[in-house]
Amino acid sequence: MRRDALVAILVVLVVLATACDGGEQELAPTLAATTASTTTSLPLMTSVPGTSSTTTSTPPPTTTTSLAPLEGLAYEEVAPLGFPIEIVPWDDAALVATKDGQVWVLREGELGESPILDIANQVRNDGEQGFLSLAVHPEDSSRVFAHYSDNNGDTMVSEFSWDGESLGDEQAVLTHAQPARNHNGGMLQFGPDGALYLGLGDGGGANDRFGNGQNPETLLAGLVRIDVGETDADPVKWQSGLRNPWRFWFDGDLIYIADVGQNAFEEVNVAGVEEGINYGWPITEGLHCFEPSSGCDTSDLTLPVIEVGHGDAATCSITGGVVYRGAAIPEIAGHFFYSDYCGGYLRSFSYDGGEASQGTDWTDQVGVPGGVVSFGVDEVGEMYVLTTDRILKVVPVRSG
């Protein structure tokens, strides 16, 4: 069967963006998969889960839709697949990448018979390393960009061209040495300005071992801007102070960055896309001084809007996330959804006026599907959750 890689990959129960606890130790949680069939109704508007501040509960949103009332959300399994890592819109279909270096077409809920790209022989798929992200050019869908760990374990961003049958003709866009095998970052996405953005971690280890968190002379620990429309344009460290921005998401002129913490706190940052924003690592972890005994000056830092402690629902490594803008569930439009590799929950919040609000924990409804490694959307903007072994679609549960 075309998913033979599943058995081999599932033995790699590692946190893709692991929160280290004093070294390069990788977490290897065993998460019991549960069904996603519960439809117990929760209030749509509650206090923001996982943050040190709370918001006043408000009534469920009203819409002009003719759809039946929303009772909740559920997961609908689309396909089993070995370590799906990304799903992105692609013309009238979607592309799904796997951690071992393959890209599949997903059309009308069905995977193609064979991958349209297979570069497994040039990808180091080991722990946090592997094929990490995929992005399609917003104006030319024949140009597909990939971020992966090469056979030396270093960062590689390449462009592949669609010839009508497969992706090929690889052209390197960016290479960067990685001093360790963790905190390699991950996400690629085109921003509102048409540039390609890449999230890179601090180089690995623990405690910002290599001193990259606040170092402007390296692309590591940053959101990197790449102008792929310009020949030989140099990549720019656009924003900084990130520990391991495994996943981020653009929504209009805002960027949502889920940054993996170390010993105690995971975080979600929301900011504009302007250059120079500093998210604080290793001065801060979440909303706290990383080394409390020495204190810290946060006056020039952008602090997270959501903080999730490691004592909350088995949290260990945050997985963000998308802002939902699909048509099937207008009641949750504008909510940013996120999860955790160990906790496997599903949570969301709305961002307005510089604050997170309308926080909701959907976990009792959808269940805990296992290790959540990524989110994505299809060609019509509907939302998916990717675990270590399957693709799940988020669907509404409605009365009547």
Residue 49 binned pLDDT confidence (cut-offs 50, 70, 90): low
pLDDT in tens, 303-320: 999 999 999 999 999 999
Residue 22 binned pLDDT confidence (cut-offs 50, 70, 90): very low
Instruction: Work out the angle at residue 190's Cα, subtended by the Cα atoms of residues 187 and 195, and round it to the nearest 5 degrees.
Output: 120
pLDDT recorded at residue 293:
81
Average pLDDT of the segment spanning 336-355: 97
Residue 16 binned pLDDT confidence (cut-offs 50, 70, 90): very low
| Whole-angstrom distance, CA of residue 274 vs CA of residue 256 | 13
DSSP character for 99? T
Partnered with residue 90 across adjacent β-strands are 93
pLDDT recorded at residue 365:
97
| Whole-angstrom distance, CA of residue 301 vs CA of residue 298 | 5
User: In degrees to the nearest 10, what's the CA dihedral of 386, 387, 390, 395?
Assistant: -50
| Whole-angstrom distance, CA of residue 198 vs CA of residue 318 | 18
pLDDT reading at 58 higher than 90: no
3-state helix, strand, coil in the chain (%, to 5): 5, 40, 55
pLDDT recorded at residue 50:
59
pLDDT recorded at residue 51:
55
- The H or E element containing residue 333 is none
State the chain's mean pLDDT as an integer.
87
pLDDT reading at 81 higher than 90: yes
| Whole-angstrom distance, CA of residue 178 vs CA of residue 150 | 10
| Whole-angstrom distance, CA of residue 58 vs CA of residue 141 | 41
Of 381, 308, 376, residue with least CA distance to 85: 376
Q: Which two tokens stand for residue 323?
A: 């802002």
pLDDT in tens, 170-184: 999 999 999 999 999
| Whole-angstrom distance, CA of residue 376 vs CA of residue 88 | 6
pLDDT reading at 348 higher than 70: yes
pLDDT reading at 28 higher than 80: no
Domains of the chain: 5-254+319-398 (2.120.10.30)
